Amino acid sequence: MNENFSVLISSCDKFSDLWKEHIRLYRENWQGKVVKTYLVTDKETSQTFEDVEIIVAPAECDFPMRIKHALQYIETPFVLLTLDDYFTINSIKSDNLNYLSNRAEKESIDFLMLYDRRKDDSNKYKELNILEQIDLSKKYAVTLYPAIWNKEFLSKTIKEDLSPWLYEVSLTKTAIEERAKCFYSPSGTFRILDVVRKGKVLHKADRYFKKNGINIGDRPLIGGVTEIKLAIIDRLNWYAPKWFVSLLKNVGRKFGMEFYSD
């Protein structure tokens, strides 16, 4: 079975305090043959990591353009894209990822999601060979959760310099336009701990860090009320009918609120 994918960690200097522990956990949990791993950032750094190649994108590049810049250095046809604040805290079997990436190539799959917080329940994991087609009519069908991407398709999704939030909103639309084949692997192959929202550490991550003696420095903890609001907004976006979400947005706009998904 040939290795046809590389791993790309998308980051920037503002999140460089996460790198050491992110990569340590990634390496400790990786089982099997190591694959080529890259980390893309926006500034030169003195940090170095064994078996991780750091790519420095031009400073003017925002989130998606840094990814596009990094893709020119990646030779494999598929890329496992993950983010700096997605920490791996469970075992990762390279043989399983190789199976999935080779299957993606064989079946011309453009996007193969490995993790979905909406469905992350270890009691409901399925066999590795089972793939579920993603319904692109749903909001946030294609996301920035860890996934194996066809490199050419990933590049096509990056049309302009956008913030991470606006870029993520655009992904499903691009997938529809490109008639992309998008699937989800419900086998729990690449589980993650979501660490940061709005630049601050989430409480679940903070508890995990304290329990396991992990120190990422002095990054502040997110406020409890803010985290609850974000959780409510997430679930409205995931599950609420479109008419109800539109109604809430119309009310919000009257109070000067703006929405990334507009």
Residues 42 and 159 in one domain: yes
> Domain boundary at 196, 213, 237, which?
196
Tell me what pLDDT residue 190 has: 97
For residue 64, give the 3-state DSSP assignment. helix
What is the overall mean pLDDT for the chain?
Answer: 90
Give a yes or no: residue 211 inside a domain. Answer: no
Give a yes or no: residue 201 inside a domain. Answer: no
**Amino acid in position 103:** R
Give a yes or no: residue 81 inside a domain. Answer: yes
- What is the number of structural domains in the chain? 2
Q: Which residues of the chain have pLDDT under 50?
A: 1, 257, 259, 262
The 3-state DSSP composition of the chain as helix, strand, coil percent (nearest 5) reads 40, 20, 40
Residues 159 and 231 in one domain: no
Tell me what pLDDT residue 124 has: 87
| Percent share of the chain, pLDDT over 70 | 87
Residues 185 and 116 in one domain: yes
Tell me which residue range forms the domain holding 254: 223-262
Give a yes or no: residue 119 inside a domain. Answer: yes
Phi, psi of 158 (to 5 degrees): -100, 95
Tell me what pLDDT residue 258 has: 54
Tell me what pLDDT residue 120 has: 80
Residues 114 and 239 in one domain: no
CA distances from 127 to 55, 183, 189, 214 (A): 35, 15, 10, 32
Cα 74 from Cα 53, distance rounded (Å) = 11
Tell me what pLDDT residue 1 has: 43
Give a yes or no: residue 52 inside a domain. Answer: yes
Cα 104 from Cα 149, distance rounded (Å) = 9
Residues 184 and 64 in one domain: yes
Q: Which of 42, 113, 51 is nearest to 82 (CA)?
A: 113
Residues 235 and 183 in one domain: no
Residues 182 and 242 in one domain: no
